[in-house]
Amino acid sequence: MLQSLMSDDHPLTLALLFERAATQFPDNELVSRFPDGSIHRYTYADFARRTRKLANALATLGIEPGDRVATLCWNEHRHLELYFAVPLSGAVVHTLNARLHRDELTYIVNDAADSALFVHSSLLDAFEEIRDRVSVEHVIVIPDDGPTPEGYRDYEELIADEPEQFEPPPLDERQASGMCHTSGTTGRPKGVLYSHRSTTLLALMSCMTDTVGMHERDCMLPVVPMYHANAWGFPYAATYAGAKQVFPGRDLSAESLLGLFADEGVTLTGGVPTVFLDVLRALDERPGEWDLSAMRSLVIGGSAAPPSQIAGFDRHGLHVTHAWGMTEMNPLGSIANLKRAHDGLDEADTLEVRARQGHAQPLIEFRHVAEDGVVQPWDGVALGELQVRGPTIARAYYGVDRADDFVGDGWFRTGDIVTIDEHGSILIADRARDVVKSGGEWISSVALENALMAHPGVVEAAVFAAEDERWGERPLAAVVHAPGSSVEAEELREFIAPQFLRWWLPAEFIPVDSVPKTSTGKFDKVALRERYGRRLIEGGE
Ligand code: ADP
């Protein structure tokens, strides 16, 4: 074999992203909102200077390569400093989900054996609750809602006297740069380790026009928390591109977000459907109040963006890009951009394509497999579990023997049940564990939810399985009504009936004040099943 004469061993590490931002885009801005509403601004030059000081401070603390350094923080510029300083020192930045139950938080900190923890002062109460159950050597407070309390080390003091020069140790592109635990809706949370290489590749991918297309003139506001799968890699991609970044802090209300979108000229944002539901409602109620002319795309994912939501934003001239991913994929997997083959489709069919989860990102391969292990055709009909393969996907969980999730030939089983159409676009019918199986046949809860949420009297609808003596399971719908709407079950049934086979229709439509959500903002179907799952057998209240 004739070997190439390329510098193939030059490592793909986060140092490349960091140095590019520092040297090519020193004057571009990073903006954060603090809990009191005030705004902090600085530039990539400031960011780079402080990040190097922080990296030196980590060494002073005795943090060694491979150590886990936890963050319990909102989206904010000092979280970004940690995103880089920790991996540039050779350590691993371990983001903790601020909305997790305290027991899970305890488990996760102990599972990772974090050496240090950086916590926003506004989240200190959460840490205090688990403090006695974890052993973290260093706790450093990042003051966001007031001064650092007595007895704690302060972030600003920690870095104040450190030198501004920092030479990263030699980094291997395959070493871990980040760690994130899945939310653990089934069983214990599982740790996923991201490498420098996969994070760098993801950042590059996100800068491609056919994906998110991050570029220097963008102004990126990640609504998705930086503790959830690296905020979908957006902060890394935006830093690499030199884009302006806006960090919303703790307040993710529609009012706060829309204000920032307008004031800062945000061009690109991303988050789960629930957050954007509130944003859309605010726009509908007060059209024209915010100048969103700079916005080029709202990336919505994490759970299915209902077509009615995509169409709703279209009415305001705002483009939704529907994306799918998983913590285990670092995390972007697919994006529902239109292809050349979709030219000429009418409005309804175009919406149908945009509301799918879309085709594979560069470097990612898809296939779907039936229960008997047979790979299914891309015909838009055959259902199977989606499997994915590529260099940004985890090979195993941290310290857990779950080899069955990772099949031998490099394919990861996502647990998502999908169809794939002839253009390679996936449509998620359900998560395997949320599937409704009635009389042995699958019913797609996502399809039913999307149809229900298209009714103007419905804000949210979650469909889940209830036990049934005759059919095994039947779907039930928990429905949140729009303010002032009193739409009856019968009307909802008739509204969706034309789109589905009769036996797909929910056995009951249960009015609820709100749908329970997981810590990452998805419908919590485990909670719904616990509450209503035996209703058809035992009778409901
Ligand atoms: P968690 O820790 O909440 O499980 P993940 O982000 O890893 O967080 O969850 C990944 C899962 O979320 C996917 O397997 C899929 O079921 C669901 N998901 C993500 N994006 C979408 C989407 N656009 N449409 C439907 N489901 C989605």
Out of 29, 350, 352, 437, pick the active-site residue: 437
Distance (Å) from CA 382 to ligand 1 centroid? 21
43 assigned to active site: no
What is the side-by-side order of every strand in the sheet holding 458-468?
Answer: 458-468, 472-481, 508-511
Distance (Å) from CA 151 to ligand 1 centroid? 40
442, 450, 337, 260 alpha-carbon torsion, rounded to 10°:
-140
186 assigned to active site: no
Residues of the chain above pLDDT 90, percent? 88
Structural contact between residues 416 and 428, judged by C-beta atoms closer than 8 angstroms = yes
74 assigned to active site: no
Residue pLDDT, tens place only, 189-239: 899 999 999 999 999 999 999 999 999 999 999 999 999 999 999 999 999
Distance (Å) from CA 52 to ligand 1 centroid? 35
User: Which ligand 1 atom sits closest to the C-alpha of 428?
Assistant: 25
Residue pLDDT, tens place only, 419-472: 999 999 999 999 888 889 888 888 999 999 999 999 999 999 999 999 999 889
Q: What is the pLDDT of residue 33?
A: 98
* Stretch (H or E) spanning 55: helix 44-61
Q: Is the pLDDT of residue 540 over 80?
A: no
Q: What is the pLDDT of residue 479?
A: 96
Out of 81, 173, 328, 385, pick the active-site residue: 328
Query: Could you give the CA distance from residue 31 to residue 266 in angstroms, rounded to a whole number?
Result: 11
Structural contact between residues 186 and 433, judged by C-beta atoms closer than 8 angstroms = yes
Counting ligand 1 atoms within 8 A of each CB, the residue from 522, 523, 525 with the most, and so the one to mutate, is 522
Out of 442, 467, 508, 517, pick the active-site residue: 442
Residue 184 — pLDDT band, cuts 50, 70, 90? Answer: low
Of 54, 80, 84, 70, whose CA–CA distance to 126 is shortest? Answer: 70
Which residues contact ligand 1 via a Cβ below 6 A? 182-183, 229, 301-304, 322-327, 331, 357, 414-416, 428, 431, 518, 520, 522
Distance (Å) from CA 120 to ligand 1 centroid? 27
Residue pLDDT, tens place only, 398-422: 987 666 667 777 899 999 999 999 9
* Stretch (H or E) spanning 154: strand 153-154
Query: Could you give the CA distance from residue 474 to residue 529 in angstroms, rounded to a whole number?
Result: 12
CB burial class (10 A; 0-12, 13-18, 19+) of residue 526? middle
378 assigned to active site: no
pTM of the model: 0.94
Q: Is the pLDDT of residue 74 over 80?
A: yes
Residue pLDDT, tens place only, 470-487: 889 999 999 999 988 889
Counting ligand 1 atoms within 8 A of each CB, the residue from 303, 419, 450 with the most, and so the one to mutate, is 303
Distance (Å) from CA 525 to ligand 1 centroid? 13
Query: Could you give the CA distance from residue 306 to residue 500 in angstroms, rounded to a whole number?
Result: 17
Q: Is the pLDDT of residue 40 over 90?
A: yes
Q: Is the pLDDT of residue 85 over 60?
A: yes
